[in-house]
Every structure is written in C-alpha cells, then in structure tokens.
Amino acid sequence: MKKIYFLSDAHLGAKTLKDPLEYERRLVRFLDQIKEDAGAIYLLGDIIDFWFEFKTVVPRGFTRFFGKIAELTDRGIEVHWFTGNHDIWLFDYLPAETGVIIHQQALITQINGKTFFLAHGDGLGDDSNSYKIMSGFFRNRFCQRLFAMVHPRWSVAFAHKWSQHSRETGGEEPKYMGEDREHLVKFARAYLQDHNVDYFIFGHRHIMLDLMLSRESRLLIVGDWINYFSYAVMEGDEVWLEQFEPEEPVRDTDTRNISIAF
C-alpha cells in the first residue's frame, strides 16, 4: 500500500535561513527519496516564504523544488498544496506548470477509510481582530491587483523584508503552550462537538505535536523544515511523525526542542 505524506512550513527562500539553497536541496532529497512509495503528498502551507504571481512573470528561484514536484505529478503522484499565510498568493501558474492541486481552504477528506481535517492552521481558533483584518486585506482581490501594479523590484523586496523582520522579532523558537492555550487544539475540540474526524493535521505552529483528543481522534502538527525537517506519514491506517536527516543540522546552533504531548 502506498504511503501518504504530510509536511509544512519549509519557508523556502526566507532571508533568515543560513543557506537557503541547502534547505531547498534537503527538501528535494526528501521528495526524491519518497517518490517510489508515495501515493499522495500534502504540502500544508508556507512551503515558500513569499510567493506572488504577476500576470506575465513569476518570482525567480525554487527551480530544483518545482522540477521535483513536476516529476512527482508526472509519475501520477497527487501533490496537494494548501496556501498558508506566507504563500497565500498561489494562483494558476503552479497548477498549470507543475500539476499541483491548490487548496485555498481547509479540506475534509477520506484517506484509507479515515476522515482527515487538513489545513495550514492560520486563523483556526484565533478570533483576534488583528488576524481578521490582515487576512481580509491579503485575500481581497482588489488589494491583490493593487499590489500587482507595484514593480516587483519594490513589492517583492518589501515582502521579504517584512517577513524577515517578523521572524527576527518573533522571539524564541515556538513551544507547545498546552491544550488550553493552543488555538489549533481548541479549534479541533470545538469542531469535534458536531463532526467526526479521525485526524486533524496542521502546520503553521512550527512545533511537532501528536495529541489524542479523544479515543477516536488525534491532532498532529507536523513541525517545519527549518528546525526539525519533519513530516507525518500514513501507512495503512497508522499515522506517525518522522524527521528527515535530523543528525545533520544546517543551522549555526541546534536549538531543537520537540514538543510532543500524548
């Protein structure tokens, strides 16, 4: 039986990465390794740190990654890409050129007889006005058209600078805050009041978490490809978290702190 893979938050091209090209190569090595046994791959958002498709041009870079994705889809492997809060502006270029299936919203689907709730995770369980305003601004088609009118020399540079500043001032590496404070945990518990879900799988939080919500339901947050090089894999009806090449950190310091709760 083919395996199903879930990963998130590679942030390819981020200016805060020590060696952005090495991060991309590592992700490509992983995709190349799983191509023989993968039935489907779910990219749960923020795979690219910034992406905006203009009408006739696209950003430079990511050649190795896009080429590997095209190879996978040419082999008949479904690759699903969920937009996150960094790669929210995915439109028609990547589906046409690489064959990925884009999801702008959460997806509830059946995989191997199990019900999955899949999403990047931003905004779920978060009712703050600041998030609603920012998300509404980024998703507004008129605002997108205005952004597209600015020359990429300035607009793309501004976006990367904003992302870099946000990450540099964001404090320490994210830690698991406990069931009563994690927005995604609270969202999943509330959703289970009216729906049956076997697995909730999210990205966004940059932590590795495998949490039993009930006797029948689990929540997994798949970590990232900055600190953990982590992913979730399903084989048959079993789902678990893994790390790829964890013994070869490419950061200046290895500050990993895996937060796993059962």
Per-residue pLDDT averaged across 223-229, rounded?
94
H and E: helices and strands count for the chain: 7, 11
* 43, β-bridge pairs: 7, 81
Out of 46-50, 71-75, 133-137, 172-176, least confident range: 133-137
Is it the case that residue 14 has pLDDT exceeding 90?
no
Residue with tokens 């998030």: 131
Query: Nearest Cα to 3, choosing from 44, 28, 29, 31?
Result: 31
**Confidence at residue 245, expressed as pLDDT on a 0 to 100 scale:** 78
Is it the case that residue 161 has pLDDT exceeding 80?
no
Q: With pLDDT > 90 as the criterion, what percentage of the chain qualifies? A: 60
Out of 60-69, 129-138, 181-190, least confident range: 129-138
d(CA 200, CA 191): 10
**Confidence at residue 164, expressed as pLDDT on a 0 to 100 scale:** 59
Fold classification of 3-243 is Purple Acid Phosphatase; chain A, domain 2 (3.60.21)
Task: Determine contact, residues 13/48, Cβ cutoff 8 Å.
Answer: yes
**Confidence at residue 165, expressed as pLDDT on a 0 to 100 scale:** 53
d(CA 138, CA 136): 6
Mean pLDDT of all residues belonging to the chain: 84
Q: Write the CB contacts of 12 (distance below 8 Å, at least 6 apart in sequence).
A: 20, 23, 24, 27, 47, 48, 49, 61, 62, 65
**Confidence at residue 76, expressed as pLDDT on a 0 to 100 scale:** 97
Per-residue pLDDT averaged across 6-10, rounded?
97
Nearest-5° Cα angle at 244, 49 to 32:
80
Query: Nearest Cα to 44, choosing from 81, 19, 74?
Result: 81
- Retrieve residue 60's tokens: 């430079």
Is it the case that residue 260 has pLDDT exceeding 50?
no
d(CA 49, CA 119): 17
pLDDT band of residue 216 (cuts 50, 70, 90) is very high
At residue 120, the 3 state secondary structure works out as coil
**Confidence at residue 251, expressed as pLDDT on a 0 to 100 scale:** 41
**Confidence at residue 169, expressed as pLDDT on a 0 to 100 scale:** 52
Max Cα–Cα distance, the chain, nearest Å:
53
Q: Using CB atoms within 10 A of its CB, is residue 103 exposed (0-12), middle (13-18) or buried (19+)?
A: buried
Query: Domain limits of the chain?
Result: 3-243
